[in-house]
């Protein structure tokens, strides 16, 4: 597996970068003036402690979130500050139709 490290501390695989690029190419015509947004949430307490969720959505280029973009491969992606912190030293990987977050 070929891996890359973004200066923000995020690691990602070539497969994940390719997935983002394909998703952007397939959907960008339906979302003019928008950029892909990646949200990552990890539950600390309660019944679901340790569980995590990753969501890809489209946000307006004029939103506050769009100011916090980075390049993952050739794809521009908006990440909230908390998502960036949560993904530091974690690997984003795409395998068999699923996005995986690994330590």
Ordered domains of the chain (ranges, CATH): 3-102 (2.60.300.12)
Confidence at residue 51, expressed as pLDDT on a 0 to 100 scale: 78
Rg of the chain over Cα atoms, rounded to whole angstroms, equals: 14
Say whether pTM exceeds 0.85: yes
CA angle, corner 35, sides to 15 and 60, nearest 5? 155
Print pLDDT tens along the chain (103 aa).
899 999 988 999 999 999 999 999 999 999 999 999 999 988 878 887 777 888 999 999 888 777 789 999 999 999 988 899 989 999 999 999 999 998 8
Confidence at residue 53, expressed as pLDDT on a 0 to 100 scale: 84
């Amino acid at each position: 597996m070929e891996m890359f490290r973004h200066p923000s501390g995020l690691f990602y695989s070539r497969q994940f970068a390719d997935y983002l690029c394909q998703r952007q190419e397939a959907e960008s015509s339906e979302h003019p003036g928008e950029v892909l947004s990646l949200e990552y949430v990890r539950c600390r307490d309660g019944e679901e402690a340790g569980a995590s969720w990753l969501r890809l959505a489209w946000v307006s280029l004029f939103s506050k979130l769009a100011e916090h973009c980075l390049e993952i491969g050739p794809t521009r992606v908006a990440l909230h500050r908390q998502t960036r912190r949560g993904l530091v030293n974690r690997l984003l990987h795409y395998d068999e139709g699923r996005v995986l977050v690994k330590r």
